[in-house]
Amino acid sequence: MSLEGKVAVVTGGGSGIGRAIAVRLAKDDAAVAVWDLNGDTAAETAKMITDAGGKAIGLEADCADKAAIKAAADQTRKELGEISILVNNAGMAPFTPYMEITEELWDKVIAVNLKGPHLCIREMLPAMVEAGWGRIINITSSSTQSGSFGQGHYVSSKGGLLGLTKALALEFAPTGVTVNMVPPGFIDTPMLRAAPVDVEAFAQTLPMKRVGQPEDIAAAVAFLASEEAGYMTGQTISMNGGRYMGSA
Ligand code: NAP
């Protein structure tokens, strides 16, 4: 699945799933701009790619900040060219009993997990429409399918992203831009390891008796980014080891 000539932005690409997605898209020949709140980890991912012979840059960008998104997009265009693949992966996933979620925390989670993807899409979509080709891939969460205890803010934000995915898929279907989502199950990343769960014990409750790897999500993203996925929009690839088998 060659993405030769395409430029991809992966938000939150300095860690976990985002890093694996950036590495995979570069392996499929895309030029990749790795964006992260942490400029050092973004640069590390970019170096992993360039050391392997791929094309990448790493940029510090708060993906909930409109001005930072504009600056990083301009830099990406200058160094790599116009952006035709956007992977909205950056996210935060606190655990807070519902009655203890402050207004400030609620707003922050919505800003990073929902408004941030919206702002990135608004920045990049016009050029995709003009080119008649684009791929927007949103990393949602299996928690939108099952609920997640102590994550009212998080599940609401990811549910909003699910809704945005479908609304945009419909509105932009005639343009050549597809909008799809990948809701990960339990994937072994720093985010999962920071969660208040016993990962090994939890893995035994899953149908496959193991958590997933970031590369599992990257494989689904690579397919959605490809030419071969051009007739697919508004859809979900659930990569979750059989945890949830519903349709959305
Ligand atoms: P991770 O290892 O914590 O990586 C997330 C990355 O996003 C970090 O590098 C983080 O930077 C960055 N980030 C956070 N806020 C940002 C912002 N405002 N702007 C730019 N970058 C930002 O987590 P992960 O597990 O790979 O998660 C990736 C995505 O998958 C998230 O959207 C998450 O909700 C989703 N997901 C993960 C799982 C799972 O089991 N791992 C399950 C369902 C969904 P800092 O480290 O500097 O904060």
Tell me the best of 15, 76, 154, 164 to mutate to test the pocket of ligand 1, counting ligand atoms within 8 Å of each CB and taking the most: 15
Of the CA atoms within 13 Å of residue 37, those in its CB half-sphere come to 11
Q: Where are the domains of the chain?
A: 7-225
How confident is residue 36, by pLDDT bands cut at 50, 70 and 90? very high
Q: Is the pLDDT of residue 227 over 80?
A: yes
Mean pLDDT over all residues of the chain? 97
Q: What is the mean pLDDT of residues 64-79?
A: 98
DSSP at 206:
S
CA of 187 to the centre of ligand 1 (A): 11
Whose Cα sits closest to atom 11 in ligand 1? 37
CA of 174 to the centre of ligand 1 (A): 31
Query: Is residue 215 exposed (0-12), middle (13-18) or buried (19+ Cβ within 10 Å)?
Result: middle
Prediction pTM value: 0.98
How confident is residue 9, by pLDDT bands cut at 50, 70 and 90? very high
Residue 30 contacts residue 38 (beta carbons within 8 Å): no
The whole-angstrom separation of Cα 19 and Cα 42 is 8
Instruction: Give the per-residue pLDDT at 165.
Output: 98
CB-defined site of ligand 1, < 6 Å: 11-12, 14-18, 36-38, 41, 61-64, 89-93, 112, 116, 139, 141, 184, 186-187, 189-192
Whose Cα sits closest to atom 48 in ligand 1? 37
- Token representation of residue 77: 């265009």
How confident is residue 247, by pLDDT bands cut at 50, 70 and 90? low
Task: Please give the share of the chain, as a percent, with pLDDT higher than 70.
Answer: 99
For domain 7-225, give the fold. Answer: Rossmann fold (3.40.50)
Q: Is the pLDDT of residue 248 over 90?
A: no
Look at residue 162 and give its three-state secondary structure: helix
Instruction: Give the per-residue pLDDT at 246.
Output: 77
